Amino acid sequence: MSAPVTRAPVILAGTFSPFLDRFRRLLVVAAIFVIWELAVRLGHVNTLLFPAFSSVLESLATGLGVGGKPVLWSYIWQTLSVILQSFAISILLAVVLTSLALVSKLAKDFLFVVTGMFQPLPSIALLPMAILWFGFSRESLVFVVVMSMVWPVASSLTVGFATVSRTLVSLGRNYELGAVGTLVQIMLPAALPMLISGLRVGWGFGWRTVVAAELVFGATGSSGGIGWYINNSRLFMNVADGFAGILLVILIGLAMESIFLFIQRKTTLRWGTEAG
C-alpha cells in the first residue's frame, strides 16, 4: 500500500488512516470467515453441530427471501417492534423522571436511588416475575426490556441536564420560557450529546435483553422473534439457521450503531456540541 512513500510514513498513516483502518478491519472480518469456512471443510467438523460459513450465509439469504421463503422478516419485525416500543417508553420515562428530578429534590433522590438499584441488575432476572404478572405476553417482554433501557438513559440524561451551560438557562429565563419551554427548547437539545450516548448504551442493553428474553420465553401468541427463531433452530437441528439468526442479531446491532452515528452527524457533531 505505502510502497512509494518511505520518507514520511507517519504523515501518510495520519492522512489515510480512516481508509486504511477500514480496509484492515474488513480484512480481519474476511479472514475470520475464510478461516471458519476452511476449518469446517478441511477439519472434519460435524456440520450438524457447526456449519460452514457458506451454509450459514445461504440460510440467511434464503430466510431473507433470496431463493427461498422470506420467513426471517416476521421474526425480525417481531423483535424490532418489541424493542422499538420499549425504546419509546424508556425515552419518555427517562425524560419525565429526569425532568421531575430537575424541579423536585424528592424526585431527584428517588431517581438516584432507583437508578442505583436497577443499573447493576440484569433485567432479564425480572423475566420470571414479569411472566407471573403479565403472563406469556408481549407486555412481559416490553417490561423487561424497558427495565434494561430506562436506567442508563435516565442516568446519562441526568448528567446531560447537569452540564447544560448556565448562560443558556439564563437565556431561556430571559426569553420567558416556562418549565416545559425550557425543557424542550433549551435543556433537551443542550443535553442531546449525553442523551444520544445514553440511548446507545440503553439500546445495547435492550437488544441483549430482548434476544435473551425471547430465547427463554418463546413466542408471544402466534409470532416469535429472532431469539425464538434461534432456539427453534436448535430444536429442529437446523443449526445453520441458528447461526444465521445469530448473524442477524449482530448485523442489526451494527446497523443500529450506524443509525446512531448518522443521527450524531446530523446533530451534535454538526453543532459542535459533542464533547471530545
Candidates 36-44, 108-116, 174-182, 254-262 — which segment interacts with other proteins by CB under 8 A?
174-182
CB of 2 or CB of 170, closer to other proteins: 170
Write the interaction track for other proteins spanning residues 134-173; mark x where CB under 8 A is met and - where it is not. -------------------------------x-xx-xx-x
In angstroms, the CA 91 to CA 145 distance is 12
On the 0-12 / 13-18 / 19+ scale of CB atoms within 10 A, 117 is exposed
Answer yes or no: are the C-beta atoms of 77 and 84 closer than 8 Å.
Answer: no
Task: Give me the least distance between CB of 88 and other proteins, in Å please.
Answer: 22
CB of 173 or CB of 265, closer to other proteins: 173
In angstroms, the CA 194 to CA 274 distance is 8
Residue 174 binding other proteins, by CB under 8 A? yes
CB of 265 or CB of 270, closer to other proteins: 270
Residue 218 binding other proteins, by CB under 8 A? no
For residue 251, what is its C-alpha cell?
Answer: 448485523
How many residues sit close enough to other proteins to count as binding (CB under 8 A)?
20
Distant-in-sequence, close-in-space partners of 42: CB < 8 Å, separation ≥ 6:
none
Residue 192 binding other proteins, by CB under 8 A? yes
Among 55, 137, 231, 273, binds other proteins (CB under 8 A): 273
Task: Give me the least distance between CB of 103 and other proteins, in Å please.
Answer: 17
Single-letter code of the amino acid located at 191? A
CB of 17 or CB of 163, closer to other proteins: 163
Task: Give me the least distance between CB of 163 and other proteins, in Å please.
Answer: 12
CB of 6 or CB of 167, closer to other proteins: 167
Residue 272 binding other proteins, by CB under 8 A? yes
Write the interaction track for other proteins spanning residues 239-268; mark x where CB under 8 A is met and - where it is not. ----------------------------x-
In the complex, the residues that contact other proteins under the rule CB under 8 A are 165, 167-168, 170-171, 173-177, 185-186, 189-190, 192, 267, 270-273
